[in-house]
Amino acid sequence: MAGNLHKLIGGDFPEREINRLAIPAIIASIAEPLISIGDAAIIGQYAEKDSVSLGAVAVGSTFFLSIIWVFAQTRTAMSSVMSRYYGEKKLEAVRTLVPQMIFMNFMLGLFFYLFTNLFSREIFTLYNVEGQQLEETIRYFSIRSIGFPFVLSTMMMFGVFRGIQNTVWAMSISLVGGLINILLDQILIGGVDGLISPMGIEGVAFASLCAQLVMFVMAIFFLYKKAGYSLNFLFPVNQEVYWLLHLTGNLIIRSLAVQTAYFFSGRIAAGCGPHYLNVHGVFWNIWLFSAFFIEGYCSAGNALAGKFYGEKNPEMLWRLSKFMIKRTIAIGVGLTLIYFITYRWIGHLFLTNSTELEIFYSAFWLVALVQPFNAFAFTYDELLKGIGEMKYIRNTLIIATFIGFVPVIHFLDFMEWHLLSVWSAFIVWMSIRGGRLMLYFNRNFSY
């Protein structure tokens, strides 16, 4: 396979440059899902006799991450702009854009913090969460959601770093954030004799929030001291802001489609009972970790696609697409194999309830199987974002959600497939997205 790949892309293809960007980008991308997975795993072990806390963390972190994932796409948009100007050697033209977009993302995060907290009871009730689990979910989310403006601002700065072809800074920040979260989880959940009282689910939320604040401060340091950008240039408004505002409008429409898929998956899982909801929360956190992992590698393709597009180099853009799809599919298959091999270990890492473990073992194979489909879709999604084809990506997502995901999940739920209905729908969803984007890319950018 390696020989065929090198024959396809040629000897002058920047494979090392892709790996230089991709490996740190993967580590940076999985920071947030790793924080959520760590929260779920640790609270799951502390809550051996009561799975309410695990369910609350699963639902709250899932909702938090689903919003972050949608609006973190502004990071990709920023990377696309920066890499295009990097390829044109005109970075000075977007110097004022950086602080303006960081400020906009901070305000967007602040809006989501206020809005989701104001309607948190109504939001989680729609997910079929009720009783004590609803109260615990609201407690967890009210603290965790304070991080919205800091996470979105940090991700915007990560987009700047990626656009100027540096992913090591974001990786370093993410590693520190992940370590802080794990350490504080252990301290705050169980407490320290004579020093800190056990905080339970609130300790989980505070640990995540502290990690996010540290990452935010570190990102500002790298932006100012290493990249040489200042936060003072709020005026005049950069010309690219209007394009990015147009993108934000597309993202809002896109978010409605994505949140529709997330909403129905959570609602149907909750409708099957609290044990199914807890297991689905674990599945969802694993799926998001995998999605961020694959997307992290694809982000190298995003940065280089923008660069080659800016350089008006269609041959390298086409060869990049062939290289990326082979590599990402291999990563997706690799994740599938790892999940199959560690099937039982993963179950016991998150769950202690025997009923929930039985549900987990009956359906996790489908979560493992979806990974190559994720890789297929994310590859072309990131390549087209790098070029700036946001409208087509948005329309594809709407079609995949309302023509693919929604009918499939409801039909299979009617057939009483339980969690299998949810994850079968996700395979259909990702297949439609990947197939449509691949055809569009090949039709318009083949060389």
What residue segments make up the domains of the chain, in order of their start? 2-445
The answer to whether 425 and 409 have CB atoms below 8 angstroms apart is yes
What number of CA atoms fall less than 13 Å from residue 80's CA on the CB side? 23
Peptide bond preceding 236 in cis form (omega within 30 of 0): yes
Q: ∠ at Cα 381 (68, 66), nearest 5°?
A: 20
Q: ∠ at Cα 57 (367, 281), nearest 5°?
A: 15
Q: What pLDDT, on the 0 to 100 scale, is given for residue 116? A: 94
What phi and psi values does residue 368 have, to the nearest 5 degrees? -65, -40
Q: What pLDDT, on the 0 to 100 scale, is given for residue 10? A: 43
* Residue 235: band (very low, low, confident or very high) from pLDDT cuts 50, 70, 90: confident
Strands (E), 90-147: none
What phi and psi values does residue 192 have, to the nearest 5 degrees? -130, 125
The answer to whether 282 and 363 have CB atoms below 8 angstroms apart is no
Amino acid letter for position 198: P
Amino acid letter for position 369: L
Place of tokens 């005109």: 90
Taking CA atoms, 302 is separated from 85, 237, 379, 445, in Å, by 14, 25, 9, 14
Q: What is the mean pLDDT of the chain?
A: 86
Cα–chain-centroid distance for residue 30? 7
pLDDT at residue 354 tops 50: yes
120 is written with which tokens? 């948190």
CB atoms closer than 10 angstroms to residue 386:
30
pLDDT one-digit tens code per residue, 281-293: 889 889 988 988 8
118 is written with which tokens? 């104001």
Buried/exposed 188-221: b ≥16 CB within 10 Å, e otherwise: bbbeeeeeeeebbbbbbbbbbbbbbbbbbebbbe
Bridge partners of 192, per DSSP, are 196
Query: Which is more confident, 114 or 232?
Result: 114
Quote the pTM value: 0.76
CA–CA distance, 378 with 398 (Å, rounded to integer): 16
The residue-averaged pLDDT of 228-252 equals: 76
* Residue 46: band (very low, low, confident or very high) from pLDDT cuts 50, 70, 90: low
Query: Which is more confident, 210 or 104?
Result: 210
CA–CA distance, 48 with 185 (Å, rounded to integer): 16
pLDDT at residue 128 tops 90: no
What number of CA atoms fall less than 13 Å from residue 431's CA on the CB side? 12
CA–CA distance, 21 with 438 (Å, rounded to integer): 23
CA–CA distance, 339 with 341 (Å, rounded to integer): 5
